[in-house]
């Protein structure tokens, strides 16, 4: 069978530990036999990042800007233990943080559903996709402990030196605490555009919620910027695509999400997204079934799994012990990236291959062949636990049948 030809290269970002092991196996078994892969390879493994003073991460993000589509393996974010383990020159920053900052992107996370694994909320029959605003608010705050008898004020000095002040609180009868935080109109606007663009790409509704009734300036600004950008730039396109933008209060949104059947993009402020994405991941079953895509306001896409490098399994693997690590989210990162490349370059066979790769993966699990994490959750009667490599082999066999 002739392999599918590509036009523009895919930016390929390799990573660390167990996911690095899976990366190579996955390419060998599920991609290279079917696609004449054109990729620009960047090794974001921690050793290479250390050797290049992390320049490799910056280069990979710049290449993503240039070509428009990337697929990324999970990477180690160094901490004190990793400094010793890898003899690092510096505690390099999270590659995801660096890439997100360069692309000014928003992260969308979505679970992959399979028969036999019922979400904790069984009415959620379609995935809920969470978009988290990844700038500001409590994550870039300033906090102080305040002593009784103090008066706390907000003070802003404008560019001409004029001060405006507002009382936060007079701490007359008690010690207390204060917190200052901010956001930027530009960042909120980028977030809104990324959400609306991705909704058009996915043909899904967008829900957005804040506490604007209580926070009449701060949260209300989020609501206003979303509304203005939607009206001016997206309303007509949404009408044409048959999708909707829906705004409500955050507490109402939570109630509606619980009662819903899923299938929409839920845009969240930074803190809401932090909390709700963990809630959604847990409710749908397994972190190993969560996909993640970073979308820039200019329409650049970087696909990855939401989980980390699965360090515990890697140490077992190094000792020669058998592992049963789930590669589904990493497979869907590849299928997502290949599909997007196929759409942009008008290669229908590549789009079709991405669909078939996902189908082969889901069919394999629904036929009862799965890794240990899913084996614990699945209610299928004929389920069978396989190891890391056997799982990929089973998908390879299924895929070979489907593409034939």
**Which residue numbers belong to the known binding site?**
77, 94-100, 109, 132, 251, 274
Between 90 and 278, CB nearer to Mg ion: 278
Interface pattern 95-134 for ligand NAP (x via CB under 6 A)? -x--------------------------------------
Q: Which residues contact 352 (CB under 8 A, 6 or more apart)?
A: 342
Does position 77 interact with ligand NAP (CB under 6 A)? The reply is yes
Kindly list the distances between the CA atom of residue 91 and the CA atoms of 3, 84, 88, in Å, as whole numbers in the listed order. Answer: 42, 10, 7
Dihedrals φ, ψ of 33, to 5°? -65, -20
Number of shown-chain residues binding Mg ion (CB under 5 A): 2
Give the residue, chosen from 60, 64, 75, 361, that forms a contact with ligand NAP under the rule CB under 6 A.
75
Q: Which does 274 bind (CB under 5 to 8 A by kind): ligand NAP, Mg ion, none?
A: Mg ion
In the list ligand NAP, Mg ion, none, the entry touching 74 (Cβ below 5 to 8 angstroms by class) is: ligand NAP
Tell me the per-residue interface mask from 217 to 256 with ligand NAP, x by CB under 6 A, - otherwise: ----------------------------------------
Q: Which is nearer to Mg ion, 61 or 107 (CB)?
A: 107
Whether the Cβ atoms of residue 318 and residue 17 lie closer than 8 Å to each other: no
What CA–CA distance (Å, rounded) separates 310 from 77? 12
Residue 43 or 373: the one with the smaller Cβ distance to ligand NAP is 373
Residue 352 binding Mg ion, by CB under 5 A: no
Residue facing ligand NAP at closest CB distance: 308
Among positions 61, 76, 265, 351, the unique one binding ligand NAP when judged by CB under 6 A: 76
The answer to whether the beta carbons of residues 127 and 110 sit under 8 Å apart is yes
Closest approach, Cβ 276 to Mg ion, in A, equals 9
Minimum distance of ligand NAP from residue 392's CB (angstroms): 12
List binders of ligand NAP among 250-309 (CB under 6 A).
287-288, 304, 307-309
Contacting range for Mg ion; rule: CB under 5 A; set: 17-25, 184-192, 278-286, 333-341:
278-286
Residue 349 CB partners (closer than 8 Å, separation 6+): 4, 342
356: left (phi over 0), alpha (psi -120 to 50) or beta: alpha
CB 148 within 8 A of CB 174: yes
Among candidate residues 96, 135, 129, 111, the one with its CA nearest the CA of residue 267? 129
Distance, CA of 185 to CA of 180 (rounded, Å): 17
Does 274 interact with Mg ion (rule: CB under 5 A)? yes
Q: Which stretch binds ligand NAP (CB under 6 A): 72-80, 108-116, 139-147, 157-165?
A: 72-80
Do 58 and 86 touch, CB atoms closer than 8 A? no
Q: What single DSSP character describes residue 149?
A: T
Q: Which of 138, 125, 234, 220 has its CA nearest to residue 180? A: 138
Task: Work out whether 50 is an interface residue with ligand NAP (CB under 6 A).
Answer: no
CB 271 to ligand NAP: min, Å: 19
N-term to C-term CA, the chain: 8
Measured CA to CA, the distance from residue 199 to residue 294 in angstroms comes to 13
Q: Which stretch binds Mg ion (CB under 5 A): 30-38, 230-238, 267-275, 359-367?
A: 267-275
Task: Give the nearer residue to ligand NAP in terms of CB position, either 107 or 347.
Answer: 107
Residues 323-382 that bind ligand NAP (CB under 6 A): 325-326, 373
Q: Minimum distance from CB of 373 to ligand NAP (Å)?
A: 4
Taken in order 352, 356, 362, 363, the sign of the CA dihedral is positive
Q: Using an 8 Å Cβ cutoff, are 131 and 194 in contact?
A: yes
Annotated binding site for Mn(2+): 251, 274
Contacts of 328 (CB under 8 A, 6+ apart): 112, 288, 289, 361, 365
Least Cα distance to 58 among 17, 10, 8, 100 occurs for 100
What residues numbered 219-258 form the site for Mg ion, per CB under 5 A?
none
Dihedral sign computed on CA atoms, order 238, 244, 249, 253: negative
| Binding partner at 347 among ligand NAP, Mg ion, none, C-beta below 5 to 8 Å by kind | none
Closest CA to 45 of 72, 71, 26: 72
Which residues contribute to the annotated binding site for D-threo-isocitrate?
Answer: 77, 94-100, 109, 132
Binding site for ligand NAP (CB under 6 A): 74-77, 96, 287-288, 304, 307-312, 325-326, 373
What does the binding site for Mg ion look like in residue numbers (CB under 5 A)? Answer: 274, 278
């Amino acid at each position: 069978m002739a392999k599918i030809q590509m036009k523009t290269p895919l930016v390929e970002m390799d990573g660390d530990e167990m996911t690095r092991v899976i990366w190579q196996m996955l390419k060998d078994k599920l991609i290279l036999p079917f696609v004449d892969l054109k990729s620009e390879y960047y090794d974001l493994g921690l050793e290479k990042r250390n050797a290049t003073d992390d320049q490799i991460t910056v280069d990979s993000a710049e290449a993503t800007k240039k070509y428009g589509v990337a697929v990324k393996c999970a990477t180690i974010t160094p901490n004190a233990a990793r400094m010793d383990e890898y003899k690092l020159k510096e505690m390099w920053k999270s590659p995801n943080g660096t890439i997100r900052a360069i692309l000014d992107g928003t992260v969308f996370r979505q679970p992959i559903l399979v028969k036999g694994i019922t979400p904790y909320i069984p009415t959620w029959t379609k995935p809920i996709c969470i978009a988290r605003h990844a700038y500001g608010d409590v994550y870039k705050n300033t906090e102080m402990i305040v002593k009784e008898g103090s008066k706390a004020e907000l003070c802003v000095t404008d560019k001409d030196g004029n001060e405006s002040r507002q009382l936060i609180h007079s701490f007359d009868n008690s010690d207390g605490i204060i917190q200052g935080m901010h956001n930027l109109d530009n960042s909120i606007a980028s977030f809104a555009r990324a959400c609306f663009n991705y909704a058009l790409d996915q043909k899904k509704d967008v829900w957005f919620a804040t506490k604007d009734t209580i926070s009449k300036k701060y949260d209300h600004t989020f609501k206003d910027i979303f509304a203005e950008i939607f009206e001016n730039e997206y309303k007509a396109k949404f009408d044409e695509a048959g999708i909707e933008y829906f705004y409500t209060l955050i507490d109402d949104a939570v109630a509606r999400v619980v009662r819903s059947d899923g299938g929409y993009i839920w845009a969240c402020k930074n803190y809401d997204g932090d909390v709700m994405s963990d809630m959604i991941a847990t409710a749908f079953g397994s972190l190993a079934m969560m996909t993640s895509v970073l979308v820039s306001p200019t329409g650049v896409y970087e696909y990855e799994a939401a989980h980390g490098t699965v360090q515990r399994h890697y140490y077992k693997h190094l000792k020669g012990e058998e592992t049963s690590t789930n590669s589904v989210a990493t497979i869907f990162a590849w299928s997502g990236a290949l599909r997007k490349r196929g759409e942009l370059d008008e290669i229908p066979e590549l789009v079709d291959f991405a669909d078939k790769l996902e189908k082969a993966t889901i069919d394999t699990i629904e036929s009862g062949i799965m890794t240990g994490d899913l084996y614990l959750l699945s209610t299928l009667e004929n389920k069978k636990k396989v190891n890391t490599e056997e799982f990929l082999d089973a998908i390879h066999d299924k895929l070979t049948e489907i593409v034939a």
